[in-house]
Amino acid sequence: MKNTLLILYGPSGSGKTSATRLLAAKYGIPEIISITSRPQRKGEVNGKDYFFVSYDRAAEMLGAGELIEHTIYDGHIYGIWEKELDNKVLSNKVSCVVTDLTGARQLMELYPDNTKLIHLGAKIDILYNRILERKQSLESVENRMKTVEKELSQWVYADLVVNTGSMPVEKVADTIYEFATKEPLVPDIVA
């Protein structure tokens, strides 16, 4: 793999999905779509937001080695389908994926010279309000908030850190794009 893979990670509500969608729309950087066994939410589109599969199908894909990386979050399997990764990364100079730090590490082991790790975060109260806006169950909100502090502290592993609470999503996407296209790779923090 000679092309660059941007790996976005950070807590729920940090703007990872919004940033990847804007990177695709504004700069043509495709997102590698993950699979998930969680139920499809209202307004989500299969193949755009996630590849929605049953838990049994996700477990089958995992057992067959079809997932490059995976995690279990809130009782659901999330993972990156090898076929999707290969299709996007091999045919694009830069592509983007959203995962957690565990998934990021797995991808970095596979492609150590071709990845740029980008941590998105914001103040806890901003993240909480963003998660509430999703109109999920209180239990789901509480489960997501349990991991926020840990996920915020994981910025130390990133090549680029972006505080999404202090800038509009357009600026977040611009910052990521500028970082992704500059050489050489040096750690950066944007607040």
Domains identified in the chain and CATH numbers: 4-190 (3.40.50.300)
Residues in the chain: 191
Preceding amide of 168 cis, omega within 30:
no
Q: What pTM value is reported for the model?
A: 0.82
Q: Do the Cβ atoms of 50 and 35 come closer than 8 Å? A: yes
d(CA 103, CA 109): 10
CA 142-10-80 angle, to 5 degrees, is 100
d(CA 42, CA 60): 26
Q: Which of 16, 13, 82 is nearest to 49 (CA)?
A: 16
DSSP letter assigned to residue 173: H
Question: So what's the pLDDT on residue 57?
Answer: 97
Residue spans of the chain under pLDDT 70? 1, 132, 135-138, 140-141, 143-145, 183-191
Q: Which amino acid is at 168?
A: P
Question: So what's the pLDDT on residue 92?
Answer: 93
Question: So what's the pLDDT on residue 51?
Answer: 96
Radius of gyration for the alpha carbons in the chain, expressed in angstroms and rounded: 16
Question: So what's the pLDDT on residue 1?
Answer: 45
Assigned token pair, 139: 């239990």
